[in-house]
Structure 1
Amino acid sequence: MSPLITSSYFSDFMSPVSPSNHNVHDKTSPFYQISTWDSLRNNITTIINKINSNSNAKIKDIILDLLELNLIRGRGIFCRSVLTSQMSRPEFTHVFAALVALVNSIFFEVGQLFIRRIVWQFKSAYKRNDNPQLLNTVRFIAHLVNQKVVHGIIAIEILTVLLEKPSEFRVTTAVRFLVECGSMLQDVLPNKLYGVFDLFCGILYEGRFGKNAEFMIKKLLAIRKRDFQVYPANRQPELDFVEDEDKLTHEVSLDEDIDPEFSLDVFKLDPYFAMNEKFYEGMKKDLIFDDEESDEDQESGSDIESDEESEGDQASSGKVSNSDTRSSHSSDSANSDENGRKRKRN
């Protein structure tokens, strides 16, 4: 593995010689690589910060902007930017989850890193009793379960952890979490979900917590009785950008020793930088070409349909004219037969 390039190393390296004396086009030089890294970090952060309540219809545009950047190299920056932005703007969690789902369908390794990061974040917040981060993290995980980015087993594990050693905050957090993704869990893991509701009923029976927790549990039981119809997994179809056959689901457990790979968030000198950049450029062209082809297929499909409709109209009009021709021929032959009979009688 290449050594970590710190700021002190870089300043020491550059101090004897002015940067202007370096060949900025030399892709093996630290000066070139660190400048492209800074640009990559700034661009990814700027694009993620554009996400807001009006981003539902613009997620694909945001993806196209991200594809212009090397997301493989910047996957650590991407994950950190999304998690940081979601913490500061939790009301847009569903939009962030849709973005992660779309990126995951294109770059499996980016989605895999993101899942490891968010599970690590949950475990960290739980140990530190960081309630705001804990609430926002489980909310994000719930939407990722609904988007099928992560398997529902992690949701069952989170609910079990929250309810095994409950506090009023943990109980209400578990209720909010289950309201978000309960419909999906009921479809994929009904037996395990039944055990979670046993824990809720036990807490309700013991009555150890305040009226707020009791009220929320009763409301959750009422929602479950109606099969989560009020809170379906796919509440916003316009954010379901990935076809079912293209969805990639990660399986992870709280019991795993998770490495969040924070080293990917900082600059490292890459001896194969030029080759890796060229590889990503080829991948990017293929992705954009495939997207353009699908758009062209849709357009050609609509053109074919319109052509078929016009041909159908022409065919129907042709049938009418042929029938008219046949009727005119039959009337002409009838008139000629009548005239022949008159001549014979005369």
Structure 2
Amino acid sequence: MMSEIAGCLKIQTQGQSKLQEGNMSTDVSNLGKSGGVYIPPFKLARMMKDVEDKSSVQYQRLTWDALRKSINGLVNKVNAANIKNIIPEIFAENLIRGRGLFCRSCMKSQMASPGFTDVFAALVAVVNTKFPEVGELLLRRIVLQLKRAFKRNDKPQLLAAVKFIAHLVNQQVAHEIIALELLTVLLENPTDDSVEVAVGFVTECGSILQDLSPKGLHGIFERFRGILHEGEIDKRVQYLIENLFATRKAKFQGHPAVRPELDLVEQEDQLTHELSLEEEIDPEITLDIFKPDPDFLENEKRYEELKKTILGEESEDEEGSDAVSDGEDDDEDDDDEESEKRMSSRCK
């Protein structure tokens, strides 16, 4: 199946560069680069139905706008309780065509709701098993965000990127080497802020680093010890380091790499991406922008076939957990209310 995905990805990428955008009707000419103007769902559906040529630029742009709205909506409402229900809906969307939209939505939602970072990382981990190109693209964009934030001393952006990377390491979407490299950079010339960020990072992913790279983690803690002995950082930050040593002594109890309800991928199924902070990174931002595809109908058909295969596998995996799912039905209303409250505080 991976060869089919790669073939489909290649065709769509080539198609986007072959054809320039044509004339649009008045209804869709103002949608913006990624379909920015709001169109009510019922109106969008009617507009799509009214277009006779399903390969036309007009129809492609309408489906792009629908894809963006659907991906944003699903990412916005995902939480630990409903993630197993969201996953099939995510795969039902064309994640090859919309891979840039998916990554963008995950990063915006994570920035708005950092407390749900482990949920977003779990969602990405599942998608990564079927579409590793998506997982790699997201990791590249987050690393680029981190590098820019570090250079600009933008602490909120830096904290968000660091937290996301920590949980992608926990899910083994990102290789642990990037975690050790990041910590080395943060602690090379320690400041109050950089040490505080490093402490938070180790708290998030120290448990898995202890398993995957105990020597590397030991070296990081030796650096923390040296910073304490130097005594040049603020007392508050020194206290954070001391607490981190206590957390390590307790074997990161209370800070598991992955919560049981978010442990959705078998270790042998996960594809881990190695990326260095020193690499030149292409975020492929053009993937977020609508471009006509001369092979649109063929590529849509290809994804429909892939979707059937993927969702068939998902159904088989979930058959054994039906009894557990039935017991959670009573909580669905509460979960929906929680999602609505969280969505109101998120970036659209």
- TM-score interval for Structure 1 and Structure 2 normalised by the shorter chain: 0.7 to 0.9
Alignment counterpart, residue 292 of structure 1, candidates 285, 300, 315: 315
Give the counterpart letter for 2:310 in structure 1: L
Q: Distance in 2 between matches of 1:124 and 1:57?
A: 34
| CA distance 1:42–1:192, change in 2 (3 Å) | same
Distance in 1 separating the partners of 2:80 and 2:26: 51
Rounded to whole Å, the distance in 2 between the matches of 1:294 and 1:233 is 23
The runs of 5 or more residues in structure 1 that have no matched partner are 300-346
The residue aligned with 1:238 is 261
Cα 1:46–1:209 shift into 2, 3 Å = same
Deviation, 1:4, is 9.3
- Counterpart position of 2:346: none
- Identify unmatched segments of 5+ residues in structure 2: 1-13, 30-46, 323-348
Q: Structure 1 pair 268/205, CA: closer, same or farther in 2 (3 Å)?
A: same
Q: Which letter maps to 2:291? A: K
Q: TM-score, normalised by structure 1?
A: 0.78
Are 2:18 and 2:294, in contact at CA under 8 Å, matched by a contact in 1? no
Shift of 1:17: 11
Residue number in structure 2 paired with 1:328: none
2:268 matched to 1:256?
A: no
Shift of 1:295: 4.4
Deviation digits for residues 190-229 of structure 1, max 9, x if unmatched? 1122221122112111111111111011111122223323
1:70 equivalent among 94, 97, 106 = 94
Identity of aligned residues (%): 53
**Match of residue 316 from structure 1:** none
CA–CA distance in structure 1, aligned partners of residues 248 and 193 of structure 2: 21
Matching residue of 2:191? 167
The one-letter amino acid of 1:29's match is S
- Residue identity matched to 2:69: N
User: Is 1:268 matched with 2:294?
Assistant: no
1:46 aligns with 2:76: no
From the superposition, tell whether residues 241 and 160 of structure 1 become closer, same or farther in structure 2 (CA, over 3 Å): same
How many angstroms apart in 2 are the aligned matches of 1:239 and 1:121? 25
Deviation of 1:103 (Å)? 1.1
One-letter code aligned to 1:255: E
**Greater Cα shift, 117-126 or 24-33:** 24-33
Contact 1:28–1:274 (CA under 8 A) maintained in structure 2? yes
Q: Which residue of 1 aligns with 2:124?
A: 100
**1:36 equivalent among 46, 63, 67:** 63
Preserved CA contact (<8 Å) 1:4 1:267: no
Letter in 2 for 1:82: C
CA positional deviation for 1:257: 0.9
Once the two structures are TM-superposed, the CA of residue 62 in structure 1 deviates from its matched residue by: 1.0
Deviations 1:235-285 (Å, cap 9, x if unpaired)?
x21110111221111111111111111110001111111111110000001
Structure whose alpha-carbon radius of gyration is higher:
1
Give the length in aligned residue pairs. 291
1:137 aligned residue = 161
1:295 to 1:274, Cα distance in 2 relative to 1, 3 A: same
With over 3 angstroms needed to count, the CA separation of the structure-2 counterparts of 1:214 and 1:17, relative to structure 1, is: closer
1:63-107 deviation line (CA, Å, top 9, x unaligned): 111122101100100000010011011111111111111111121
Report the CA distance between 1:16 and its aligned residue: 9.8
Within 2, Cα distance between the matches of 1:17 and 1:40?
A: 17
- CA distance in structure 1 between the partners assigned to 2:217 and 2:319 by the alignment: 44
Secondary structure at the residue paired with 2:81?
Answer: helix
State the AA in 2 paired with 1:196: I
1:199 to 189, 199, 223: 223
Q: SS of the residue aligned with 2:77?
A: coil
Q: Aligned partners of 2:146, 2:67: CA distance in 1, in Å?
A: 27
SS at match of 2:80: helix
1:151 aligns with 2:175: yes
- Residue 296 of structure 1 and its aligned partner are, at CA, apart by 4.9
1:296-335 to 2 correspondences below 5 Å: 296=319
In structure 1, what is the equivalent of residue 135 of structure 2? 111
Q: Secondary structure at the match of 1:49?
A: helix
**Quick one: structure 1 residues 48 and 18, their matched pair in 2 at CA, closer, same or farther if it must change by over 3 Å?**
closer
Q: Distance in 1 between matches of 2:116 and 2:26?
A: 48
State the alpha-carbon separation in 2 of the partners of residues 62 and 14 from structure 1. Answer: 34
Distance change in 2, residues 1:289/1:60 (3 Å): same
